[in-house]
Homo-oligomer: A and B are copies of this chain.
Amino acid sequence: MIKKRIRRLPVWVWLPVTGLILGIVASLLPANVALAADPTGAETLLAEPSSALDYVWILVAAFLVFIMQAGFAMLEAGFCRAKNAVNLMMKNLMDFSIGSIAYFAVGFALMFGASKSGLIGTTGWFLTGEDYDVGRYLLFMFEVVFAATAATIVSGAVAERLKIKAYFIYSILICSVIYPIYGHWVWGGGWLSSLPFGLGHLDFAGSGVVHMVGGLVGLAGAIVLGPRIGKFTKDGKARAIPGHSLTLAALGCFLLWFGWFGFNPGSTLSAYELRMSVIAVNTNMSAAVGACAALIVVWLKTKRLDLGMAMNGAIAGLVAITAPCAWVEGWAAAVIGLIAGIIVVFGVDLFDKLGIDDPVGAVSVHGLNGMWGLLSVGLFADGTYGNYTTALPHVTGLFYGGGWDQFIAQGIGALTCAVWAFGLGFIIFKVMDKLFGIRVSPQEEIEGLDLGEHGARAYPNFPVIEDLPYD
C-alpha cells in the first residue's frame, strides 16, 4: 500500500524531498575545523601572489572537464538509437544539473570537509560559512565536474530502458554519497590514502575515484535492469544494435579526449607542478595507442575496421592512464594504453557472453580500465616523481624495482572501489526497482523512451526506421 503510494509520487516530489533529507542529515553532522575564509581573494593574493596562476590553471582545467559532459552526451546518443536520443540528452543534461546541486549541498563536504576518522568529511555544506572562500570555491569548481563525470558514465550502461525517475534519484545519490565518500577515502585524507603499503593507495586523477565508480555503478544498473529487448537471441547470442549517428559519436570521442586534457593535467591542482607537461603527453599517448590497439584486435578477430571500438579504445586508454599519468614515462603510457585497448575489446565480448547488456560499453571502458589504471601505477611508476609540493617521496612500481608494495596498495583500493560502488549501486537500483520498477514498459521500450517519457522526438523532420527483429 505504502509501496504503491511511493511509486506514484512524481519526480518533482522525489527530487526536492530526497535533497532535503540529505541536506538535513548533512547539517546535523558537526563542523570541526575553522578556516580563515577569504571570499574576495584579496588576502589570499596578498599572502601568496603566485597563487593567481594556480587559479587560472585550475579553472581552465575545470572548464575543459565540463565539456566532457557534451562528449558523453554525443557519444551515448550516437551509440544508441534515434528513438531514445531525447531521453539520453535529458539524462546527460540533468545528471550534471542535479549532480551539481547534490555535490554543492552535501557531496563536497563529505569528500573534502574536515575528516572524521578518515571515513567522511564533515564541513562545508552548501559552501557557506568558513567555506565561503575563494580557495574552497576553486576546489569545488574543479571537483564538481569530476563528480558529474562519475554520474554521467552510468547513463551509457543503463541506456534505452531505465525510467528517468530512477535516473534522477540515482544521480542525486551518486553525487551526494557514493562518489564523495569513496573520494574522501582516496583524495580527502581518508584511510585508503594512508594504507601501510607503498605510499598508500594512489589515484592521480581518478581511474578509480571517477571511472571505476561510474563503471561499476553502471554495471549494477545494467544487471538489475536486464538486457534491452532484442539484444540477445533466444539462444543467448548477443546481437549488435547499431547506434543512430556515428558522426555524433565521433564528435563525442574527440570532446572527451579534449576534456581529458583538463582532467589529468589539471589534477596537479597547481600550475607550479611542471610535470603537467609529462601528464599531458602521457594522456595523449595512451589514448592514441588505445585506439590503435582496439582497432587492430577487432581486425584480427573479425576482419572489420570497427570505428566504434576504435573510439572506445581511445577512451579506454584515457581511463587507464588517469591514475598513473603523473608517475610514468611516455613509452609506459603507450604500453598502458595498448593493454587498455585490448582489455576493452575482450571486456565487451565478456559482458556480451555473460548476458549483460551495456549499450555503449561503459563498463568495459570505465570499469575494467579504471581498475587496470589503478593497478598499472604499481607496475610502471618509474620513481622519478612524487609530488614535490607536498613532499611525497617518489612512487616506484614493480618494474622499476619498487617491489610489490605499491601494487598491493593499488589492489586494495581497486577492490574496495569495486565492492563499494557495485555494492551500493546494486542496492540502490534494487530498492528502487522494488519500490516503483526502474524499467520502462516493453511497449515504451520498443516505441522509444522519447515518446513515452518526453512526448517528443529528437528528429521530427526525418523518417526514422529500425529493422531490429523483436523476438
Least Cβ–Cβ distance between A242 and chain B, in angstroms? 4
Q: How far is the CB of A80 from chain B (nearest CB, A)?
A: 10
Inter-chain contact A463/B462, CB cutoff 8 Å: yes
Contact across chains for B388 and A299 when beta carbons are under 8 A apart: no
A127 touches B258 (CB 8 A): no
CA distance in complex: A330, B134 (Å): 11
Residues A281 and B247 in contact, CB atoms below 8 Å apart: no
* A164 to B126 Cα, complex, angstroms: 48
Q: A73-B254, A271-B56 are in contact. Are A126 and B462 (CB under 8 A)?
A: no
Per-residue CB contact flags for chain A residues 252-268 toward chain B (1 = under 8 Å, else 0) read: 01110110011001000
A299: nearest residue on chain B (CB-CB)?
B12
Q: How far, in whole Å, are A272 and B287 apart by their CA atoms in the complex?
A: 32
- Residues of chain B with a CB closer than 8 A to A251's CB: 70, 73-74, 251
Q: Are B96 and A40 in contact (CB under 8 A)?
A: no
Stretch at the interface among A87-95, A214-222, A359-367, A403-411: A87-95
Chain B's nearest CB lies how many Å from the CB of A43? 9
A457–chain B nearest beta-carbon distance, Å: 7
Q: Do A52 and B272 contact each other (CB < 8 Å), given the known contacts A254-B70, A280-B62, A299-B10? A: yes
Q: In the complex, how many angstroms separate the beta carbon of A464 from the nearest chain B beta carbon? A: 5
Interface of A is mostly: helix
User: A417 CB to closest chain B CB, in angstroms?
Assistant: 27
Among candidates B59, B261, B306, B459, residue contacting A277 with C-beta atoms closer than 8 Å? B59
Interface size class of A (residues with CB under 8 A): 35 or more
A61 to chain B: closest CB distance in Å?
A: 9
Is B288 in contact with A101, judged by CB distance below 8 angstroms?
yes
A463 cross-chain contacts in B, Cβ below 8 A: 462-463, 465
* In contact, B289 and A101 (Cβ under 8 angstroms): yes
A-side residues, CB < 8 A to B, are 10-12, 15, 39-42, 44-45, 49-53, 55-57, 59-60, 62-64, 66-67, 69-70, 73-74, 77, 81-83, 85-86, 89-90, 92-94, 96-98, 100-101, 104, 126-128, 132, 134-135, 137-138, 140-141, 144, 164, 242-251, 253-255, 257-258, 261-262, 265, 271-278, 280-281, 284-285, 287-289, 291-292, 295-296, 299-300, 303-308, 310-311, 314, 329-331, 334, 384-385, 388, 453-466
Which are the 8 A-B pairs with shortest beta-carbon distances?
Answer: A41-B274, A70-B254, A138-B277, A100-B288, A89-B250, A97-B288, A82-B461, A244-B461
